[in-house]
Amino acid sequence: MSTVAFVLVSWRPDVPAGMERAVAAHAAALTKAGHKAVIVTADPAAPRTYRAATVTTITALCGTFPCDDTTLRTAIHHGTDALRRELVTVFARERVDVAVYVDALWGLGSIMPHRPQTRNVLAAHVMGHDTDLRAALALEPAAVIVPSATVLAQATERGYDSSTWKIVPNTLLTEPEPQPQRVRDHLHQHGPIRVLARLGPEKGVAALLAPRNRLDRPIEVALAKAPFEATAGSQDELLRKCQALAADTPGVAIQPGLNWDDVLAWLGGASLVIVPSHAETFGLVALEAMAAGTPVVAHDVGNLPALIGDGGILVPHHHGATGLWRASRELLSDAVTYRRTSRAAYYRSRDYWPALVANQLLKVVS
């Protein structure tokens, strides 16, 4: 049995953010496989356990959170020594074999302490600021992991030597059962089109809602606020814009974001899911939709082409939102293609099931 700790100071359940959601699934997968997982966070609202994983809240990080990157970087700089001591104490108490620093900044990778009994691993879910990433790499982690080849390519473009970095993809929180064909056929004919996204401009939701070429069925958009934003008030401003666009179009409804445990069923109840993102280093929403047998329509950006493949329709990014709606309409009008795409989506998702990804992670970090 191995003990793996994931360090992410912003972690708590149901945060609509990729890193938090990835940590939850990796930890759950490890515990289900018989290992011990520890999640280290600075969020006082986090529970003490999560799906059999131990959750530890550190207190040496001073400041008010959530916050922006600059504020967090300053707090880490002023509290480096105390943070390192607290992390070493946690690792010793929990007998941690591997510490995964989930991001150079938010995962404290830029100050990872040295402890002979613990193997340090840096996770780069996104290519962060050079200030943090260079500091983390200078500490010579035993391994660097990324969720996709997209991040490897971005690292190379930024001038980093990523030749030894390893891909460990994100995974599902649960292993879904395939839907009965009669259920999927009914959804094909009558199910709503659904969109699930965080309130960030890069998610492309406002652009998706702007065109008037809707389909003759309900369109449901779940938008979630994250505990971070590019500028103060930007999420509220984007939400108001999306609500105004939806109000101008009959059949379009905006609703709040979902708890993690509710996502799979909600996406599985759609005829198709549109992922209008302008950039994706992995694509968790697409994966969860596919796991439920729901075809995905998305732009051909980032990791989405490699992830979705024949489990959906990929639209050239320069075709914009109009291209997404057109592809959706064409898929829903072709029963044979729809059924084939739905089946392919489910089977492609199996490559990312928890047991498989837990083994991949352990091979890389051990």
Question: Residues 293, 179: contact at Cβ < 8 Å?
Answer: yes
Q: Residue 159: left (phi > 0), alpha (psi -120 to 50), or beta?
A: left
Higher-confidence residue of 247 and 316: namely 316
Mean pLDDT of 347-358: 95
Q: Which of 138-142, 178-182, 220-224 is least confident?
A: 178-182
Indicate where the chain has its CATH 3.40.50.2000 domain(s).
3-168, 181-351
pLDDT 10s digits, 255-303: 999 999 999 999 999 999 999 999 999 999 999 999 999 999 999 999 9
- pLDDT at position 212 is 67
Q: Give the residue carrying structure tokens 């999927």.
A: 184
Question: Residues 296, 312: contact at Cβ < 8 Å?
Answer: yes
List of long-range contacts for 93-96, beta carbons under 8 Å, 24+ apart: 94/3, 94/5, 94/36, 94/38, 94/54, 94/56, 95/3, 96/3, 96/4, 96/5, 96/38
- pLDDT at position 65 is 66
Residue 366: band (very low, low, confident or very high) from pLDDT cuts 50, 70, 90: confident
Report the distance separating Cα 123 and Cα 168, nearest Å: 9
Tally of CA atoms within 13 A in the half-sphere of 301 that contains its CB? 19
End-to-end CA distance of the chain: 11
pLDDT 10s digits, 200-253: 999 999 999 988 666 788 999 999 988 777 677 888 999 999 999 999 888 899
Mean pLDDT of 186-206: 96
Residue 53 class from Cβ within 10 Å (0-12 exposed, 13-18 middle, 19+ buried)?
Answer: buried
Tell me what the pLDDT averaged over the chain comes to: 94
- pLDDT at position 54 is 98
Q: Which of 68-77, 115-124, 193-202, 222-231 is least confident?
A: 222-231
Domain at 181-351, CATH class:
alpha beta
Of the candidates 302, 294, 270, 346, the residue with the CA atom closest to the CA atom of residue 18? 302
Element (H, E) at 240: helix 234-247
Q: Coil, strand, or helix at residue 58? A: coil
Strands 219-224 and 252-256: parallel
The radius of gyration of the chain's CA atoms, rounded to the nearest angstrom, is 21
> Is the Cα torsion angle 256, 182, 273, 333 positive or negative in sign?
negative
- pLDDT at position 214 is 66
> 3-class secondary structure for 108-165?
CHHHCCCCCCCEEEEECCCCCCHHHHHHHHHCCCCEEEECCHHHHHHHHHCCCCCCCC
- pLDDT at position 265 is 95
Residue 231, token pair as written in the block: 């500028």
Q: Which residues contact 180 (CB under 8 A, 6 or more apart)?
A: none
Q: Which of 26-40, 229-243, 301-315 is least confident?
A: 229-243
Residue 139 to residues 34, 63, 111, 133, 201, Cα–Cα distance (Å): 30, 25, 8, 10, 34
- pLDDT at position 179 is 86
Question: Residues 136, 102: contact at Cβ < 8 Å?
Answer: no
Residue 200, token pair as written in the block: 């960030």
CATH number of 3-168: 3.40.50.2000
Question: Residues 57, 44: contact at Cβ < 8 Å?
Answer: yes
pLDDT 10s digits, 72-114: 999 999 999 999 999 999 999 999 999 999 999 999 999 999 9
Q: Which residues contact 312 (CB under 8 A, 6 or more apart)?
A: 272, 286, 290, 295, 296, 297, 298, 341, 345
Q: Which residues contact 354 (CB under 8 A, 6 or more apart)?
A: 25, 28, 29, 32, 33, 171, 172, 173, 174, 175
